[in-house]
Amino acid sequence: MGNVVDEFITRVFDAVRTDHGGAVADYIPELAAVDPDRFGIAVATSDGHVYEVGDTAVPFTIQSISKPFTYALALADRGVDAVAEKIDVEPSGEPFNEISLDPDTERPRNPMINAGAITSASLVAGASPAERFGRIRSLYSRCAGRQLPLDAAVYASEAKTGHRNRAIGYMLRSFGVITDDPDEAVDLYFRQCSIEVTCRDLALMAATLANNGINPRTRDRVLDPALVERVLSVMTTCGMYDAAGEWVTEVGMPAKSGVGGGVLAVLPGQLGIAVYSPRLDRHGNSVRGVRACKELSRDLELHFLRVTRAARSSIRARYSIGSAPSRTRRTDAERAALDEVGNHGRIYELHGDLLFTGAETAVREIDGERAELEAVVVDVRRVDDVSAVARRMIEALRADLARSGCQTALVDPEGLFGHTTSSLTPESPDGRVFADLDAASQWCEEVLLSRHCGIGRQPDSIDLEQHPLSADLTPEQFERFTGELERRTAARGETIARRGDRAPGIFLILSGRASTTVTSTDGAIHRITTLAAGMTFGEMPTLLDSTLLNDVHADSTVTLALLPRESLLRLTADAPEIKSALLERLAMAAYGQLEMLLRTFERHGRL
């Protein structure tokens, strides 16, 4: 099953595949014989993951896409200054096979046209033509991550018909740009163009350039970062020949095309793109390849001038709800269930700027774990900005997970995804949105408990006889105890108890939910714990006759029974056995709460 990135790429593939414009290259007989309707798209991320659709395993010859790689090898062998004395780096504005040099410098205008590429080949170090070709093929193979073969038939066809390139070679020799045998340099150029690749190979070669010269799968340091920077710079301005200006404007990535039908594009630091489709436009660029790259750049927001700061988002942390429970007090049965199935609910914390690559990383990881997931929380509180494509990708992932039975929620207090916050409803086909992580964690637990905890759940409401605080009392003690209680009701949003006030007594919750909170100096409200039917609050300040340390708010309509402090004092004097039973129950509840807090601290590495 593909994830949402596969769906994006497939949508582009389907939109472009109906374009039958252009024609295959016919000046090389072997190229004229290929199937003109082959079409594949591959995208390789800078960590080596490859998305692909169509004919990505079909071999074809690399042709002019070889030029930036041989140029890089020449730079590594001879040095930047020595190569610059032979090849300029200015756009030519002419066809790739023009027989011309710059009239002022008398050098090829750049290494991406044939004159510059033949010069690059002549600068590769080696004791013989065979050794030089071996080094060229080795470099290409290291970038692709596998040994690349030579297509002997295409090489023979190029060698037989490549008279124009031989003319360029002799022109270069006559101007002293090439100082050795021009036939050897041209033949080496024919051989490098005849190396066989697939669309997947090209995507990984592009990703190697995107990854500062390190193959993202093999981790092989193929090229020096400074050389990669120079190569990508020349690709940006010259890689698409006399259509380079339009390419930079509409696509915005360093790129190189080849008359074999390939197009290679690089988004530095993020990904490499390869497209294969043999039909060419008048510039010698793949018609579908150019159009697919335009669509991908627009849909995935890949234009390298779109974002003013270099930032990538990644998953900051990921953990199960079992290892980081919410602050909701749970019954023994609920805690046991969450211990058993808590790994089926997970929280993913994202941070930074959420662009395509950051979203892709998150989507890929979450999607890869979907078989184990029943509830997912995506926490974007630490995300600074969200691009439109990242927003679409995360939303598409949430919808896809919902279709497979996994509920999702966002923690998005700033509304980066355009949603308003929602209430604690366990099941929703559209997912939930929360302002704080604990509320989302509580929701995640509720999803799992609704599926895996059939008995022993915390009830929505109870009678006084069912409240744990009175569980160990005899009928006579219970009657005396309840005679001291006052019944109260709080509406949703009402403050039941306020920080700094004298504790009125011990509250027993009979129905509804309430939260204990503290307010920081900046006015932000922080949840400490969520309370439900069968729980208590106000115990310690009542026993110590002190003020409340936190606020208590009603999350829903809450019914309570209050044991006033004066009543507790009367029980102390008149019925100490009742007070003793109450204290034992309160101690048990406090110990359970301490256990939960310790697990939370362990999750955050504070113990």
Which of residues 458 and 404 earns the better pLDDT score?
404
pLDDT band at 426 (very low <50, low <70, confident <90, very high): very low
Condensed to tens digits (0 to 9), the pLDDT of residues 18-35 reads 999 999 988 788 888 899
In angstroms, the Cα distances linking 374 to 340, 349, 371 are 13, 17, 8
pLDDT at 98: 81
The DSSP-derived string for 208-237 is: HHHTTTB-TTT--B-S-HHHHHHHHHHHHH
Q: Which residues are known to be catalytic?
A: 64, 67, 189, 241, 259
Angle at 189 between CA 183 and CA 194, to 5 degrees: 125
Candidate ranges 182-191, 407-416, 577-586; pick with highest mean pLDDT: 182-191
The DSSP output letter for 457 is P
Check pLDDT > 60 for residue 320: yes
pLDDT at 425: 46
pLDDT band at 604 (very low <50, low <70, confident <90, very high): very low
Which of residues 238 and 595 earns the better pLDDT score?
238
Percentage of residues in the chain with pLDDT exceeding 90? 60
Check pLDDT > 60 for residue 146: yes
Angle at 245 between CA 244 and CA 249, to 5 degrees: 115
Q: What percentage of the chain's residues is helix, strand, coil (to nearest 5)? A: 45, 20, 35
**CA neighbor of 235 nearest in space, from 270, 209, 208:** 209
Sign of CA dihedral 350, 355, 361, 365: positive
* Rounded Cα gap, residues 38 and 52, in angstroms: 14
Which of 77-81, 106-110, 416-420 bottoms out in mean pLDDT, i.e. has the lowest?
416-420
Specify the pairing of strand 536-537 against strand 432-434.
unpaired
Candidate ranges 158-172, 196-210, 446-460, 545-559; pick with highest mean pLDDT: 196-210
Neighbours of 131 (CB within 10 A): 12
pLDDT at 586: 83
Take residue 583 and report the two structure tokens written for it: 């204290």
Check pLDDT > 70 for residue 600: no
Check pLDDT > 70 for residue 65: yes
Kindly compute the dihedral angle of the four CA atoms of residues 180, 182, 188, 192, in this order, to the nearest 10 degrees.
120
Strand order in the sheet with 495-497: 495-497, 551-554, 514-519, 525-531
Take residue 138 and report the two structure tokens written for it: 């080795």
* Rounded Cα gap, residues 257 and 277, in angstroms: 11
CB 252 within 8 A of CB 297: yes
Specify the pairing of strand 60-61 against strand 50-54.
unpaired
Check pLDDT > 80 for residue 158: yes
Single-letter residue type at 411: V
Strand order in the sheet with 536-537: 486-490, 558-564, 505-511, 536-537
pLDDT at 123: 96
Check pLDDT > 60 for residue 342: yes
Check pLDDT > 80 for residue 307: no
Check pLDDT > 70 for residue 595: no
Report the half-sphere exposure of 372 (CA within 13 A, side-chain side): 13
Sign of CA dihedral 214, 220, 222, 223: positive
Check pLDDT > 70 for residue 422: no
Which of 46-60, 106-120, 412-426 bottoms out in mean pLDDT, i.e. has the lowest?
412-426
* Rounded Cα gap, residues 488 and 497, in angstroms: 12
**CA neighbor of 366 nearest in space, from 388, 333, 394, 391:** 394
- Residue 89 forms beta bridges with which residues? none
* Rounded Cα gap, residues 261 and 284, in angstroms: 9
pLDDT at 379: 94
* Strand blocks (E) in 541-598: 551-554, 558-564
| 41 contact partners, CB below 8 Å, separation of at least 6 | 9, 12, 13, 52, 53, 54, 56, 199, 273, 274, 275, 292, 296
Length, in residues, of the chain:
607
pLDDT at 599: 58
Average pLDDT, the chain: 89
The DSSP-derived string for 306-364 is: S-SS----EEEEEEETTTS--SB---HHHHHHHHHHGGGEEEEEEEEEE-HHHHHHHHH
Check pLDDT > 90 for residue 122: yes
pLDDT at 93: 66
* Rounded Cα gap, residues 184 and 164, in angstroms: 15
- As to burial, measured by CB atoms within 10 angstroms (0-12 exposed, 13-18 middle, 19+ buried), residue 1 is exposed
**Long-range contacts of residues 241-244, Cβ cutoff 8 Å, at least 24 apart:** 241/92, 241/95, 241/96, 241/112, 241/113, 241/283, 241/284, 241/285, 242/92, 242/93, 242/94, 242/95, 242/283, 243/281, 243/283, 243/285, 243/290, 244/91
CB 532 within 8 A of CB 515: no
Q: Could you give the domains of the chain?
A: 4-300 (3.40.710.10), 314-452 (3.30.750.24), 464-603 (2.60.120.10)
Which of residues 52 and 456 earns the better pLDDT score?
52
| Mean per-residue pLDDT, 256-273 | 94
Candidate ranges 136-150, 291-305, 465-479, 569-583; pick with highest mean pLDDT: 136-150
* Residue with tokens 């630490």, as numbered in its chain: 382
* Rounded Cα gap, residues 438 and 573, in angstroms: 41
| Mean per-residue pLDDT, 524-538 | 85
Check pLDDT > 70 for residue 309: no
| Mean per-residue pLDDT, 120-124 | 96
* Residue with tokens 């060698």, as numbered in its chain: 159
* Residue with tokens 């999803």, as numbered in its chain: 447
